[in-house]
Amino acid sequence: MRGAVSDRRMGAGKSDGGARPGGGARPAGPGRSIGGVRYVARKSILARRAQFIASFLAVLGGAVLVTACGVLLESGLFAGIAPQRYAAAPVVVGAGQSVTVPLPEGPDPVESLPERAMLPAELVATVAAVPGVRTAVGEVSFPATLVTGEGRTLGGPDGGEMLGHGWGTAKLTPFALREGAEPRRPDEIVLDAATAARAGTGVGEQVRIATADGATPYRVVGLATPPEGDGLPRQSALFFTDARARELSGHPASVAAIAVFADPGVPTGGDSGLLGMVRSLSQDRDTLVERVERALAAKGYGDNGNGGQGYGDSGNGGQGYGGSGNGDRADGQRVVVRAGVERGEVEFLSAAQSRSVLTLVSGSFTGFVLMIVVLVVAGTLSLMVHQRRREIALLRAVAATPRQVHRMLATEVLLVSGVATPAGIGPGYLAAQALRDGFARIGVIEDGFALSIGPAPAIATLVLCLGAARIAVWVAARRQVRVRPVEALRESAVERPDIGRGRVIGGYVLLGLALVAVAAVVVVPQSLAAVPAQFSSMLALIGIALLGPRLMAALSRLAGASLLRRSRVAGYLAAANSVAGSRRLAAAVTPLVLTIGFATSQFYSQTTLSTATQYQARAATVADFVLAGAGGGVAPDIAAAARHVPGVSATTPLVATEVVAVDREATEEPLSRSTAYGIDATGLTGTLDLPVASGSLRELRGDTVALSETEALWLGKKVGDRVDLVLGDGTPTKPRVIALYRPNLGFGDVLLPSDAVLPHTTDRLADVVLVATAPDADRDAVATGLSALAKEHPGLAVGDRESLLVAQDTEMEANAWLNRLLLAVVLAYVALSVATTLVTITTGRARELALLRLVGGTRRQVTRMLALETSLVAGIAVLIGTAVAAVPLTILSLRLIDTPLPSGPPWVFAAIVAATVLTGVLSIRIPATRVLRARPLEAMRSRE
């Protein structure tokens, strides 16, 4: 053995395998030498703080995003919206607000129901008979509008709902009379005090209440208030007599929910959240929730765990409806029994949806964010590592094994991310709160939905972010560690511009696939056409990122020629730099291209799709007049009333809802939710002109349905077949297909008779009524007649064809906004990484810039050179980014709205470009100014 090595440390030092030159297996233990590696790593960070700021910010931003996603995800799983109306009822029973099909394997697919599902009123007695139940109250709830004396219509507070109830259910909140008396006669009403104040009315005065049955006058006999405040925060309550309320609800034999009050000392159960789940596993199962569930299950009403309507084969030809265990009930419905914060799910239709939206979105978004974080962190780190090429080569030559270099870089990154990650967790919780507010504002989640704040997201963020940084540095170091030690002997680290063959092939393959995706825009169903368009841009962007250096070399050579003509010194240098440093240029341009291309493609494909819905709806509408309601909609009897206006030849209501088509043969996605319209087949002439491919829309009455060709193809149905549908409130139906019509985004994929749809909507209102005038009628006279009709019906507005606004696919709309919001967050993060990347690149050129100064370049000339380079970078980025988004968008627009120009506000594109370019320019300009301020000689010496 060699001497002089201190014996004490000998073993440790050799544990890396040095004792066995060329030996295969290396001992796993890192040995004591890690101390040396860590020491160098720590010194290195302290000495180049500036360079590590980029990585620090990248990890910090990533930690903020991941924490926010985690909080949203946890909230999606465990949080809820606190009940308002049912605050006083410890347990609430509601109908399952979703539909499901049991699959032989894998999780059962679930679709949520857009309309309120009801419970049979007879169940109130069943629940009341359960031991431990003091009373059970059947809730009646229906949308209503208040019409003030001046004819003003009034909905709920802050865009919420105004709901009518029976006075017998006032104790659910509890509402107590502040003044006046309870309603005793059918024309008496009690208002909550807040509503009375908004309407400017009081006890003894007259108001009109509009429901699906029209507007009726009532006398205000009392004002009621909940325990706190004058009214509920997000809904108005109107109390009728119980009998009148049942009548107005339109479902006399049904209740919206059953509120359960317990005998003293009976545990209610139903703790929510992670803790509740754990507790419920260990606790006895005899809570009130359990008892009610058992009693309902005995009557054939069960909860299959996800609150869905079970749709299973139950042995009677598929007509049977219900999951395992209660298959013999034709109307066997799912019920949910809820306590604690989960009662909000029964009260607020969208609470369960809020949760599922949060779970779905944050679930998939977390993956996306993690990918971006790894990319950004890897990008920043690889740049940092690249700039230390020579140092690494020197270390390799004199001291460090490849593993040790890996470990040194990993330690550096661990130290940086170890500080950055915890620093980002706190802001992450705030960001989650901000995102929640944003979601609530765009209406994707219910306003009162509160986040569940726990430690789990913080722990997950620590693991994920440190892991991501570790992966990123491994990726970044992998290439650099292969640097041959002799590189250290070279005078300057010359860029190797060429990229691997695999990378080039991958880039071209992706560009090819992008073209295939563009072609797919023309082929797929219209409603899905935006998907391949966005996908195409994405593929092209990744392809361009792969081909980056090569593409930049070619483009900068092109651009260089014109730069050369413009200016002798600065232009020449800028052109030369850009061509020679094509890899560096690519590193600068690629994130900018990604930002512009991605944002533009996402935004405009969605706006174009939205426009297409209205465009196509108007294209198929030939009605002369459109009657629309204020707020809620139009009472369906207006259609009949309008037909009696002289000169009117035909009217049809448009009742927008959603149905779930069930395809039990399908192995994947047996449930598909589609926009559906209820129309009146007798009033189509002159109102609606939907081209029909086979069959006839005139036969659309009774137990029939018309499908779009897309939907028919998806379900494999033709005229004459029966199709399994679940209506918006969960009612199953199996109508006969009488017509297939050409796809029209404006009218969804399913047309049903309006009288078949109306009873299964929550508000039992039509969206609009289309009115056609007879060919010989005087149009102005008809308009006058309709205006007179509108006067009798508060809130009714008469418009022409162009005023038609069909309902957008709510899910699609909400998702579009959601995407925009999330995209904005991610783009802000990407912009941060762009900025840090460019700052790092520019700072790394200090020596080069100093050299230019030394050989006689004035500060002005060098600045000008940088400015030209910057405009080159920005110009190329705008050009490519726009092109990548424009090609699929043009095809999409031609397909959907018959024009090559995508629809949407142009300022968004301008803003995207401006923000990107500004980020780029500032990130180069500011560090360059600082670098140039230093004396060139010092810059030459102090930096490598």
Partner 1 sequence: MTAGPVRISGRVAPGGETSGGTASGGGMPGGTASGGGMPGGTASGFAVRLEAATAVYGEGAAAVTALHGVTAGITRGAFTAVMGPSGSGKSTFLHLAAGLERPASGRVLLGDTDLSGLKETALTELRRERIGFVFQAYNLIPALDVSDNITLPLRFAGRSVDPAWLTEIAGAVGLGELLGRRPSELSGGQQQRVAIARALVTRPDVVFADEPTGALDTGTGAQVLRLLRGLVDSLGQTVVMVTHDPVAASYAHTVMFLADGRIVGELDAPTAESVAARMTHLGER
Binding site for partner 1 (CB under 8 A): 1-6, 8-10, 12-18, 20-23, 26, 31-37, 39-40, 43-44, 46-48, 390-391, 394-404, 484-486, 488-489, 491, 941-942, 944
Residue 26 or 279 having the CB closest to partner 1:
26
Shortest CB 609 distance to partner 1, Å: 53
Shortest CB 412 distance to partner 1, Å: 10
Shortest CB 822 distance to partner 1, Å: 40
**Amino acid identity, residue 80?**
G
Separation between Cα atoms, residue 153 and residue 149, nearest integer Å: 10
- HSE on the CB side for 676, CA within 13 Å? 30
Residue 488 or 660 having the CB closest to partner 1:
488
Separation between Cα atoms, residue 911 and residue 508, nearest integer Å: 30
Residue 64 or 408 having the CB closest to partner 1:
408
Rounded alpha-carbon distances, angstroms, from residue 47 to 41, 53, 380, 409: 10, 12, 18, 14
Q: Which has the closest alpha carbon to 319: 662, 749, 675? A: 662
Residue 18 or 759 having the CB closest to partner 1:
18
Shortest CB 944 distance to partner 1, Å: 6
Q: Which has the closest alpha carbon to 636: 168, 212, 59? A: 212
Residue 23 or 759 having the CB closest to partner 1:
23
Residue 392 or 873 having the CB closest to partner 1:
392
Shortest CB 936 distance to partner 1, Å: 15
DSSP 388: T
Shortest CB 41 distance to partner 1, Å: 10
Residue 39 or 508 having the CB closest to partner 1:
39
Separation between Cα atoms, residue 336 and residue 333, nearest integer Å: 10
- HSE on the CB side for 689, CA within 13 Å? 10
Shortest CB 839 distance to partner 1, Å: 20
| Strands of the sheet with 98-100, listed across from one edge | 110-112, 98-100, 308-310
Shortest CB 28 distance to partner 1, Å: 14
For residue 161, give the 3-state DSSP assignment. strand
Shortest CB 9 distance to partner 1, Å: 5
Residue 24 or 107 having the CB closest to partner 1:
24
Torsion of CA 694, 695, 700, 701, to 10 degrees: -150
Residue 35 or 716 having the CB closest to partner 1:
35
Shortest CB 387 distance to partner 1, Å: 12
**Amino acid identity, residue 442?**
I
Q: How many helices (H) and strands (E) does the chain have?
A: 26, 29
Contact present, 727 and 781 (Cβ < 8 Å): no
Separation between Cα atoms, residue 215 and residue 145, nearest integer Å: 9
Residue 413 or 639 having the CB closest to partner 1:
413
Instruction: Summarize the chain as % helix, strand, coil (round to 5).
Output: 55, 15, 30
Shortest CB 380 distance to partner 1, Å: 19
How many CB atoms sit inside 10 A of residue 569's CB? 16
**CB under 8 A, 24+ apart: contacts of 130-133:** 130/260, 130/288, 130/291, 130/292, 130/295, 131/291, 132/262, 132/263, 132/266, 132/288, 132/291, 133/260, 133/261, 133/262, 133/263, 133/288, 133/291, 133/292
Residue 179 or 944 having the CB closest to partner 1:
944
Contact present, 521 and 536 (Cβ < 8 Å): yes
Shortest CB 39 distance to partner 1, Å: 6
Residue 487 or 637 having the CB closest to partner 1:
487
